[in-house]
Amino acid sequence: MQVTRNRAESTADIGVPLDPFVLYLINMGILERIKEIEAEMARTQKNKATEYHLGQLKAKLAKLRTQLLEPPKGSSGAGEGFEVTKFGHGRVALIGFPSVGKSTLLTLLTGTHSEAASYEFTTLTCIPGIINYNDAKIQLLDLPGIIEGASEGKGRGRQVIAVAKSSDIVLMVLDASKSEGHRQILTKELEAVGLRLNKRPPQIYFKKKKTGGISFNSTCALTHIDEKLCYQILHEYKIHNAEVLFREDATVDDLIDVIEGNRKYMKCVYVYNKIDVIGIDDVDRLARQPNSVVISCNLKLNLDRLLARMWEEMGLVRVYSKPQGQQPDFTDPFVLSTDRGGCTVEDFCNHIHRSIIKDLKYVLVWGTSARHYPQHCGLSHNLHDEDVVQIVKKKEKEEGGRGRFKSHTTGPARISDREKKAPLKT
Ligand SMILES: Nc1nc2c(ncn2[C@@H]2O[C@H](COP(=O)(O)OP(=O)(O)OP(=O)(O)O)[C@@H](O)[C@H]2O)c(=O)[nH]1
Ligand SMILES: [K+]
Ligand SMILES: [Mg+2]
């Protein structure tokens, strides 16, 4: 069967939505080629002589997988049908095989009912719930179970994965009584669509140029890749002018990730459910694995630990704003993400209102980020979770700010342990 193999080409010139059947044929063509390349890679022995060939095959595979992911014109992408409006301070997706207890967990943690039953594929769509934790609201998403081959479109795999990509972290729910291989299979499925779990981006500087050829450099010894292999992979991408600088002993896969540039690096907590049906030794072993939490929905076991772990991995920072001469409202924090590596005073000010910065003189900070209480800080100061911040404006009058800041009345402010240690005086 001869079908158009490059979807981008086939849609660009006509500019109209593709017939679903044509799309199906195109996808089948891409899948066929993926299968061929995977088979060839499996056949090829790994050694010094084949490493260039294998590298090239890896690049071909990555390119095809990216093609598979490109949303066709006229649709809103692979997540079609599963759109749920973002809500709260963060989003967490429940990913797992069928019947591992995702819906049971959603119902337990959020109070929103999601049908649970002993048969597979009970859940057919995305069901959102809200977790109230640490005065923050976290959106938890229950999803249909996924199976091996999900990344290539089996079941509702691609929609589910698209939702996972839109989340801040993933909870991979696993059945503690089932094969431990499930974790690897799911990880592979997510990797095939560009998700990288619990990894940091490769330390490779890469910049395409207009002229000048390829400049290849490294700041350390490279054991997985050399100049020739790097050239070959760039060649596969038709890149002939670029600057590449390896800052770590990276692999071919790392280089491909950097060239593709569309990878999403996410935290993932592995949640082993149903520990009520396995022996204590197995529970102990699973609990000791990295990034893992063991729970039982049936016995409501260890759910606190799961929430604490989820909170930790989300890296959210609560900042309490303190009007001058008043106590902060400890029940109503600003909740900020540390996506870009931290949460600065500038992020905090912009979060309240964009116009604050131009009037800002400095801020006063109490909390673990401050060296002494209160510390006078500027825009670049990094805030920690549970810090208290008072904004001091350039021409601030003696009596506290009005208007755009949260106004705090003399309500029942909670007195925290920290406050007892260091009363908030200005
Ligand atoms: N023994 C035991 N069974 C559990 C536990 N949690 C859930 N189950 C059972 O596992 C079965 C599947 O639960 P669901 O919540 O429907 O699982 P799911 O992952 O949402 O399944 P799908 O929506 O079909 O993908 C149900 O019969 C639950 O009662 C647990 O902690 N221990
Ligand atoms: K089920
Ligand atoms: Mg379910």
The DSSP-derived string for 307-366 is: HHHHHHHHT-EEEEE--TTS---TTS-EEE--TTSS-BHHHHHHHH-TTHHHHEEEEEEE
Residue 17 within any structural domain of the chain = yes
Whether 221 maps to a domain, the answer reads: yes
CA of 120 to the centre of ligand 2 (A): 4
Complex prediction ipTM: 0.99
Tell whether the model's pLDDT for residue 26 goes beyond 90: no
Residue 80 lies in a domain: no
Phi and psi at 282, nearest 5°, equal: -65, -40
CA of 111 to the centre of ligand 3 (A): 15
Q: With a threshold of 0.80, does the pTM exceed it?
A: yes
Q: Does 130 reside within a domain?
A: yes
Q: Which domain holds residue 48?
A: 7-69
Index of the ligand 1 atom closest to the CA of residue 96: 19
Mark whether 19 and 152 lie in a shared domain: no
Q: Note whether 194 and 296 are same-domain residues.
A: yes
| pLDDT tens string 373-411 | 999 999 999 999 999 999 999 875 544 444 444 444 333
Q: Could you tell me which residues are beta bridge partners of residue 266?
A: 197
60 and 149 fall within a common domain: no
Q: What is the count of structural domains for the chain?
A: 4
Q: What is the pLDDT of residues 121-172, one digit of tens each?
A: 999 999 999 999 999 999 999 999 998 888 877 878 888 988 999 999 999 9
401 with 333: CB under 8 angstroms?
Answer: no
Instruction: Report if residue 172 sits inside a domain.
Output: yes
Ligand 1: residue whose CA is nearest its atom 2: 274
Place of tokens 């700041």: 219
Give the nearest ligand 1 atom to 297 CA: 31
pLDDT of 310 = 97
